[in-house]
Amino acid sequence: MKAFILAAGLGTRLRPLTDNKPKALVEVNGKTLLDHAVDVVKKAGATSITINVHHFSDLMKEYVANRNYGVPTYISDESDLLLDTGGALNHAAEFLNGDEPVLVHNVDIMSTINLNEALESHICSGAIATLICNTRNSSRHLLAIDGTLNAWENTTNGARKPDFTDQERANMQPFSFSGIHILNPNIFPYLKEYSDKFGAKFSVIDFYLDLCRKEKVSIYQTEGVVFDCGKIETIAQAEQVFK
């Protein structure tokens, strides 16, 4: 299995910690978020790691170059344009393509999710992608029918993608996306096709909502606790759990 760590974000919610460094180099218990994420994906069986960079990209490149992660490690450079998650996946295809599943992990997510169980579920499902979800409170939901992605909603502003009726909504189960997903490599032609149509920068959720009309996109529900360490107030909470 290959791993892709999403580390290019601006880290605006972590200011002033990110005034002079990228969020991936913010520390939790004296260890960078990037190194925490690397440990997680290696434990899950990563045979290679690709890291995308944008904000303070030179610092990130230097940091990674001076680390020995024990597996081949690549930089997907988005210095010129931050591509959002969908665009980032398409941009990194040269490192991620092949015959192995791809574990995608946000650098600012720390969790107690058992990724080995999630990978087994993904393989058994036959899905082209599996989105790992948990029970945290959120106003934005992936909506599924029988464990398969069907739609998306934002309960704060009423947005729905694609549009659906209240009657149709009654048949859908809501899930909160953890920011961790597992992909089959045959997803990359679809990513390129979507990029050719909508441009280099695009949302992975919009992409999945398009893809689920053509291929099976599964939801994997876990009871694991997820910490969004992209917010300062969450870091103290995570430090108590991940000592």
DSSP-assigned states of every residue in 111-146: E---HHHHHHHHHHHT-SEEEEEE----SEEEEEET
Please list the residues that pair with 50 across neighbouring strands: 4, 74
Dihedral-angle region of residue 84 (phi above 0 means left; psi in -120 to 50 means alpha; beta otherwise): left
49 token code pair: 């790691």
What pLDDT was estimated at residue 138?
80
pLDDT attached to residue 152: 97
Asked if omega into 162 is within 30° of 0 (cis), the reply is yes
Rounded Cα gap, residues 6 and 88, in angstroms: 8
- Bridge partner list, 84: none
Distance CA 210, CA 116 (A): 27
pLDDT of residue 136: 67
| Alpha carbon distances (Å) from 144 to 29, 147, 155, 161 | 37, 5, 16, 12
Give the up-direction half-sphere exposure of residue 61: CA atoms within 13 A in the CB hemisphere.
11
Return the ∠ at Cα 86 (arms to 83 and 88), rounded to 5°.
45
The predicted structure's pLDDT at residue 134 = 82
CA triple 42-48-51, angle to 5 deg: 90
pLDDT at 114: 94
- 221 Cβ contact partners less than 8 Å away, ≥ 6 residues apart: 133, 134, 135, 147, 175
C-alpha 107/C-alpha 6 separation (Å) is 6
Picking from 38, 87, 110, the residue whose alpha carbon sits closest to that of residue 67 is 38
Cβ atoms within 10 Å of 233's Cβ, excluding its own = 9
> Cβ distance 82 to 36 under 8 Å?
no
Q: What is the CA radius of gyration of the chain?
A: 17
Tell me the pLDDT of the chain (243 aa) as tens digits: 999 999 999 988 889 889 999 999 999 999 999 999 999 999 999 999 999 999 999 999 999 999 999 999 999 999 999 999 999 999 999 999 999 999 999 999 999 999 999 999 999 999 999 999 986 678 899 999 999 999 999 999 999 999 999 999 999 999 999 999 999 999 999 999 999 999 999 999 999 999 999 999 999 999 888 888 888 888 888 898 887
Task: Decide: pTM greater than 0.85.
Answer: yes
